[in-house]
Amino acid sequence: MNITATHINYFHVCIRKLWLFSNGIQMEHNSQAVSEGKLIGDSTYLDRPEKYTELLIDNVKIDYYDAKNKVVHEVKKSNKVEQAHEAQVKYYLYVLLCNGVEGATGIIEYPTLRHTTLVILTSEDIIEIQTWEKEILNIIKQTTIPPTINKPVCKKCSYYEFCYV
Ligand code: SF4
């Protein structure tokens, strides 16, 4: 199976979420956070389609890629799971590298917080990402659902009702 940036993100948020998503239980369309995030993407950067390219590479979709400067732009609503956002963008940079684009960087933008985070890909990251990929495949193959994590992030998760109600 193809690992996408969503798998990488969920792996860093919650492996139960990763498992549910990967095994066909998808509730993302019900998530208010996702729709709000989409609105941020749609309304904050209306001129983006002219400046940046949407890239589909190895089944990984990068919404905003500045090809001239080799910069991936990722827009997020909240930085509560910033580590997962960074992992996701590092994965974009890794996929770009695997396809011959060297030296790309990433910028995570939090418009509502007026905050940006620069992301670079190091040689250590590359080794780590290959480990993530193996771990993700192992988690997905498990025959039982990983346990709930009972963390604040659960309240914003689209699987909240599935997990707790
Ligand atoms: S609600 Fe919590 S435990 Fe359930 S999938 Fe989401 S993050 Fe994981």
CATH of residue 105's domain is: 3.90.320.10
> What average pLDDT does the segment 24-45 reach?
57
Q: Please, what is the angle between helix 5-13 and helix 15-22, to 10°?
A: 140
Average pLDDT, the chain: 88
Global pTM? Answer: 0.86
Higher pLDDT, 71 or 42: 71
Domain around 30: 5-164
Q: Assign residue 100 a region: left if phi > 0, alpha if psi is -120 to 50, beta otherwise?
A: left
pLDDT at residue 32, rounded to an integer? 47
pLDDT in tens, 96-117: 999 999 999 999 999 999 999 9
Could you give the strand order of the β-sheet that contains 53-57, starting from the edge strand earlier in sequence?
Answer: 53-57, 60-66, 71-75, 105-110, 115-119
Residue with tokens 């549910």: 20
Taking 80 as the threshold, does the pLDDT of residue 156 lie above it? yes
Strands 71-75 and 60-66: antiparallel
pLDDT at residue 36, rounded to an integer? 47
pLDDT in tens, 68-87: 999 999 999 888 889 999 99
Query: Which atom of ligand 1 sits closest to the CA of residue 147?
Result: 3
Residues in contact with ligand 1 (CB, 6 Å cut-off):
14, 16-17, 20, 148-149, 153-154, 157, 159-160, 163
Judged by DSSP in three states, 32 sits in helix
Alpha carbon of 133 to ligand 1 centroid (Å):
20
Taking 50 as the threshold, does the pLDDT of residue 35 lie above it? no
pLDDT band of residue 47 (cuts 50, 70, 90) is low
Quote the number of domains for the chain.
Answer: 1
pLDDT at residue 85, rounded to an integer? 95
